[in-house]
Structure 1
Amino acid sequence: MSSSEISSKPDGKADDALNSQEAVNKIAKTLEKSHYSFLDLRTAQGQILFLLISIALSVLIQSLPNGTFTSVFNQEIPTHGHVTETVRHECNKTPTTASAPIKRPTYWIFGKSENEAHLKHVKNVLQRLGYEKVTNETTDWDLLWAHDYPFRVLYPKLHHLKVHQKVNHFPGCGFITNKVDLATTDLEFIPKAFRLPEDREKFIAYAEKYPEKMFVQKHNQHRHINIKPVKEINYNDNDTFVQEYVDNPLLVDGHKFDIGVYVIITSVDPLRVYIYKGDILFRYCPQKYHPFDPKNVDKYIVGDDYLPVWDIPSLAPFYNGFGFGMKHSFDAYIRSKNRDPNGIWIQVEEAIRQTLLNKEKHIINALKNYRHKRNFFEMMRFDLIVDDNLRVYLMEANMSPNLSSAHFQQNTLLYEQVIYNLMNLVGIGSSIHRESLRTQTTDAEQMMSADKNIAVHAEHCTSDMCVESCELPECELCRPCLSAQDISDLHMAYREHVNRGETKRIFPVPIISGKSADLSELNANNQKMSRWFAGKCAMESIWCS
């Protein structure tokens, strides 16, 4: 270093550097004269040398340019890969004390009652699925759970739903659950009924033709039900009906009972219907049927204080002792009487199927007033009875069935499993983390169902007749022949099947022994969906039912 360069350093740094160099030279000469113990701090010589070295290093460090040590210690550590600036800066960040809250899908509740205790199990299941309850003031929600029919009061709010929003009722579902409308529907499994006052003359003629029959007058609100002599029927009572009474009910330990089947509608036009098969609700009349007294309704009408299965002596060993559900306990009892219960359940499914196919047109018409028909699903309970010949009769369908265990805590498991399976089936429950029911990324959506999952009829679709035209029924499910709505419907059907859990599809009709159902009386969309399930069944038997 030249003298001119040293003298150009500011703040006397040149003098410091010269002094530092002289100190180092003196240390070197001393070291040459010293023996191997020159740094022994126990000697005076060692202590003096240590002091001189410390002073020299201190002076040398002070003479270095600013930032020298910072640049040295910030050198990237060599690794097999590369430590980026981003990683180094992230490591140097001070940890934050609180992270941003995780956004969750949301729901709100509509009902006439401010007390939501009867919806305890609905709220329990939704909370476990990661949903957050919000008020009806927000418009950015995912699920509306309505205990009461919502489409009159909330029509402005529900008229223009966003694609991802779900409501637990269909517009027009009252055509199924209205007791007068259902009872007076001319179907195989519904006892003969007459609407009052307009069907008065028809009823009188029917009663005169069958004088041995008994009749029950019922109100649409399910109150004041009892058997009446024909002469005591009030023909001027609006919103009521008179129905033929089934006078030979099947009894268990002397008690009449009804059967509650949970029915789920996931789609209309095309129609898809499932039942919960994990268990069936059995309710027994609190008093034995015989000796029969039409004035004592506890002998033949099931009320809120019904007799539960665990209190029926012939069923208690199965239910209490061995852990069977209500349905399997009943089936075991019937078999113990050398009778086959399977015929009962075949009739139950057919009764539900016939009813919903008959009423579907009303829901389709009601849906025309709404932007999207895929916003809705439905769970109702169909109540049926069985006569002593094991013949099944449909009595009513409940739009918002009781899901409260306030009367019987033992029903908690039944209700929560029903709700849980419902949520999974309709896509509300999901093992995929998400902030909302909105459409996921393309990769996530295809992970759940891709076009290959809905493809059927490979042999037809590659034939010349289907390549050239979509006119033939065999070609309508080929990829080029499907509309965007068709593709959406099939993806939904595929996901429902994958997520069906303890539910069973009853429409489209399951394919038994390779025999497909007669489709001639179904509308076009129901025919197409039925053919798709048949196509999946032909590829893999698990899709047959």
Structure 2
Amino acid sequence: MQRFVSHRKLSDPKDEKSSRDPSVERRKQSWTYDGKSFAAAFILACCFLVFLNVYAYKQSIANELENPNVTAKVPTYALFGKNVDSGYLRHVIAVFERLGFQRVDVSSKWDVLWAHEYPFRNMYSVLKNLKPHQKVNHFPGSGYITNKLELSTSELPHLPRAFRMPQDKERLLEYAKADEDLMFVQKDNNHRGITIKHINELNLSANNTFIQEYVSKPFLIDGYKFDIGVYTILTSINPLRVYIYDGDILFRFCPVKYYPFDPQILDKYVVGDDYLPIWKVPSLKKYYVDKGFSMKDTFNAFVESQGKDPSTIWTQVNEAIRNIYLQKESKIRQSTLHYQSSTNFFEMVRIDFVIDEDMNVFLMEANMSPNLSSAHYPPNQLLYEQVIFNTLALVGVAQRIKSSDLQIRSVAEEDMMVALKNIVVFPHLCSSHLCQTCENALCDVCKHCLTIDVLNQLKNAYKEHVNRLDCRRVFPPAMTPPLPNITSYGNAYSPENQRVARWFLGKCHIDHSWCS
């Protein structure tokens, strides 16, 4: 007979006995109950921790909304000036918000201060101890550029001759004798009430005024006199680096035709708030409105249609801007010594020029806080917002890499944007016997001769070039083939400016996009 054997494992007699032992059963039940209790307690503890985390997160969000500077999740900006919410800074606010900045009160811990007024008198105690990442849109001492009396009497090329009153009275009279047809305007820093006069009609005893030669025979378009406004950005004072916004130029026309000329009709030769915009000038409308060109390209097209070369104008503009900043840099640099670092500051001004019929360019004034409101002329909105954005991009405020407080978080992140290999130049010179030591000044941009401060300066210059968008460098000047020799930058510049100019020249040798 076949036997069927069960697959159940046979039990040991001792096991059977123990399984029937009541004390063992009680212990098993106790262990089961204890395990369930532990699991329940563990689950409750986890739930409690989750609750605490959620509560803490909500609380942190609430705290951030009440005071965004506590956790600094987003970069912040503040505005300084009179009635900053009245609308004249609307485009400034719009650009900051599009860049992800959160506005805070001027008394808070901001990352960027946009001041419409000169902030260093009222905010000196705050601005003298800025953190490295904080930025302010003015330089201490910028009045050496924007003060009308200081600028006009600088006696540089492209500036109409000007005389301080009353101390330059005799010099003025001597100058006027040479040409009896000369006309003059008398100005003060408020720049109000300008009228063309002969020398015998001027008040030669008026304090704190200056008398400036009037630029006669202006270049006219459709009979209208005009001025051009070039947005200029100072990013560094030691060494000096200056750029212009080259994406467009502001053109403003007098509302009344120049001829027949009458000095009593100011609208014939003074550009006021109610100027004639470019889109209402018949010969320019077809380029600007119909074809969509910028103001600058529209003007260039018109000048070329008259058989003239517009590049001669822009060469003079760049030269005039460069000369002014080179002359004033030592005074501005001296003003920054009262502050912890000059790297906290940048400045965008609008420099106004006029042109005579021979294509000579004359610098008239620099506006510290130029009008950026399109309330009167809505089509200017794009120009103003592009100027603001390009300025912020150039100085590293509109960063491509988002970082709380604008601060670099690691060496790796810094190297990702600009590493040593991006800085080194002149491989043949720096590896030659001439540069085995750093005694030769030509070797001061070689790796082994770079100090930490100089390396940081060059890194900032590198990032400006990479982020410049439509900005173009005015100083150090453009380098066009044939490239200048490395020794070309001599005593005309300070040692710091010679070094940075040689560095740009070195980058230009490697990549021609660095030449201008």
Fold match, TM over 0.5? yes
Q: Does 1:522 align with 2:502?
A: no
Choose which of 458, 475, 479 in structure 2 pairs with 1:490. Answer: 458
Gaps of 5+ in 1: 15-61, 73-84
1:323 Cα shift?
0.6
Report the CA distance between 1:515 and its aligned residue. Answer: 3.0
Instruction: Say which SS state the counterpart of residue 394 (structure 1) adopts.
Output: strand
Answer yes or no: is the 8 Å Cα contact 1:455–1:478 preserved in 2.
Answer: yes
Q: Distance in 1 between matches of 2:473 and 2:233?
A: 9
- Note the C-alpha offset of 1:64: 9.3
Q: 1:412 maps to which residue?
A: 381
Map 1:346-365; keep pairs closer than 5 Å: 346-365=315-334
C-alpha contact 1:146 1:168 (8 A) present in aligned 2: yes
Cα deviation, 1:76-130, whole Å, max 9, x if unaligned, reads xxxxxxxxx9xxx89x957948665471111111113454411111111111111
Amino acid paired to 1:120: R
Residue pairs, 1:451-466, within 5 angstroms: 451-466=420-435
Is 1:449 equivalent to 2:379 in the alignment? no
Structure 1 residues 167 and 64: CA distance shift in structure 2, 3 A? closer
Q: 1:179 aligns with which of 122, 125, 148?
A: 148
Do structure 1's residue 109 and structure 2's residue 76 form an aligned pair?
no
Identity within the alignment, %: 47
Conservation of the 8 A alpha-carbon contact between 1:219 and 1:225: no
**How many residues are treated as equivalent by the alignment?**
484
Q: For 2:240 and 2:180, locate their aligned partners in 1 and report how far apart those are by CA, in whole Å.
A: 41
- 1:384 aligned residue: 353
In the alignment, which residue of structure 2 is the partner of 1:28? none
Kindly indicate whether the alpha-carbon contact (under 8 Å) linking 2:232 and 2:243 is maintained by their aligned counterparts in 1: yes
CA displacement at 1:441 relative to structure 2 = 1.2
Pairwise mapping of residues 200-279 of structure 1 onto structure 2 (< 5 A)?
A: 200-279=169-248
Q: Against the structure 1 CA distance between its residues 432 and 236, is the aligned structure 2 distance closer, same or farther, given a 3 Å change threshold?
A: same
**Residue 163 (1) aligns with residue 132 (2):** yes
Greater shift, 455-464 or 306-315, is seen at 455-464
What does the per-residue CA deviation read over 1:211-251, in whole Å, with 9 as the maximum and x for residues that have no partner? 11100111211111111222221223222111101110000
Instruction: Write the letter of the residue equivalent to 2:474.
Output: I
Which residue of 396, 402, 409 corresponds with 1:433? 402
User: 1:506 and 1:353 mapped to 2: Cα distance?
Assistant: 6
Superposed CA offset, 1:160-191 (max 9, x none):
21111111111111001000111111111000
| Partners of 2:303 and 2:310 within 8 A in 1 | yes
Unmatched segments (≥5 aa) in structure 2: 1-14, 62-71
**Partner of residue 531 from structure 1, selected from 488, 491, 502:** 502
CA distance in 2, matches of 1:459, 1:405: 53
Partner of 2:122: 153
Structure 1: distance between partners of 2:30 and 2:111: 68
Paired with 2:444 and 2:82, the residues of 1 have a C-alpha distance of 46
Match of 1:8 in 2: 22
- Within a 5 Å distance, the mapping from 1:36-75 to structure 2 comes to 65-66=32-33
Q: 1:5 to 1:278 in 2, by over 3 A?
A: same
Letter in 1 for 2:312: G
Report the Cα offset of residue 2 of structure 1: 3.5
Cα deviation code 1:476-516 (max 9, x no counterpart):
11112111110010000000010010100111011111333
Secondary structure of 2:406 counterpart? coil
| Equivalent in the alignment of 1:502 | 470
Q: Aligned equivalents of 1:518 and 1:276: distance in 2?
A: 25
Q: Secondary structure at the match of 2:327?
A: helix
Q: Which residue identity lines up with residue 538 of structure 1 in the other structure? A: H
Q: Specify the alignment match of 1:511 in structure 2.
A: 479
Q: In structure 1, give the amino acid aligned to 2:295.
A: M
Change (3 A) 1:116 1:484: farther
CA contact (8 A) 1:519 1:527 kept: yes
Shift of 1:439: 3.1
Higher deviation after alignment, 5-14 or 217-226? 5-14
Q: CA deviation at 1:9?
A: 3.9
* CA positional deviation for 1:11: 8.2
Q: CA deviation at 1:418?
A: 0.5
Given that 1:269 and 1:525 are in contact with CA atoms closer than 8 Å, whether structure 2 keeps it comes out as yes
TM-score by length of structure 2 reads: 0.89
- The code of the aligned residue for 1:277 comes to D
- Structure 1 distance, partners of 2:440, 2:86, is 53
Matched, 1:123 2:93: yes
Report deviation, 1:203: 1.1
Name the larger-Rg structure.
Answer: 1
Q: Is the 8 A contact 2:19 2:25 kept in 1?
A: no
Candidates 111, 121, 127, aligned match of 1:142: 111
Q: Structure 1 residue aligned with 2:279, among 304, 307, 310?
A: 310
Corresponding residue SS for 1:65: helix
Question: 473, 482, 493: which one pairs with 2:441?
Answer: 473
